[in-house]
Amino acid sequence: MAFLPQKFLFSALVSILCFAFEVSSYRRVYTPPNVTPLTSSFPRVPIDRGFSKSFGASNIQYLNNGSMATLALNKTSGSGLVSQGRYYYGFFSSAIKLPAGLSSGVVVAFYLSNADKFPHNHDEIDIELLGHDRRNDWVIQTNLYSNGSVSTGREEKFYLWFDPAKEHHYYSILWNSYHTVFLVDNIPVREFIHSNSYPSIFPSKPMSVYATIWDASDWATHGGKSPVNYNYAPFVASFTEMELSGCVVSDPSETSSSSSSSTTTTCSKSSSSTSGLDPANGPEFSKLSQQQIAAMDWARRKLMFYSYCNDKPRYKVMPPECH
């Protein structure tokens, strides 16, 4: 029997090690930087008081005196919650624990939208947690729409540096007149700055807050290549430590303008806010701190693997903010 060349053995060993690294969790590699927790700046709200059941009511359970809710997806239905208030700017956060095991096609979302009030001109700010079959990992996708601009997706996708199915982790959105910031465990992963140069692309109308789990096999798995496997159902996501601090709109019909500068919203003080009508729109939330900027740079260098601003095959002309 001929002996394998030493060069071939070395190459094979490298391939095996690379494969082992591929299937092992990248979560062991990265230690996140320290940041001042923004979630400590706002009070928590009992979920059963801040939300109503939107769909799949039989798949929703309130636990711990309403401070926690579980949302399930089975072959019959997904499930979702919608905030009882409609907010114009604010800080919105939840600690979420994702379903364990094979999760391809399952999407757990925490987002703001007004599609129910403005079906042809809606705004949306999305955190979507996408189950994947590869390494059984989850991916976080962030996105924004404004004034019905659904033809221009502004997605950015990141890997996580932890196992999101083992325990709860914070997923947060800061939305104010200055910027929209997406945070994971208080680390900013994305900042979308409001610019007067292109005001029409900035979400500008009051929105409700949603927490959902649903079957997104048709788009979240490369066109349905890896649909939800209901042999592993039910898929259960847990939400707790909810924060809803913002300006609560008393009459959303008053704010049909697409420009935030001309909005004449009448707001009532939120029961979840202790710092005035616009608790997340003060100067202390107008820009990221140097610590937050450094943490965001870390997240984007280490964990971001897709940004629409780098997708030249998708856009012949890049969206204006990419320049």
Residues with a known catalytic role: 124, 128
The Cα–Cα gap between 127 and 34 comes to: 22
Report the largest interatomic distance among the alpha carbons of the chain, rounded to a whole angstrom: 85
Give the containing element (helix H, strand E) for 291. helix 290-302
Nearest to 60 by CA among 168, 164, 211, 172: 211
Q: Is the sign of the CA dihedral 224, 229, 234, 240 positive or negative?
A: negative
Q: Beta partners for 215?
A: 106
**Contacting residues for 266 by C-beta, under 8 A, at least 6 apart:** 249, 250, 251, 254
The Cα–Cα gap between 171 and 323 comes to: 28
**Contacting residues for 122 by C-beta, under 8 A, at least 6 apart:** 113, 114, 115, 145, 147, 148, 205
C-alpha pair distances (Å), 214 with each of 78, 110, 119: 5, 12, 20
| Residue positions counted in the chain | 323
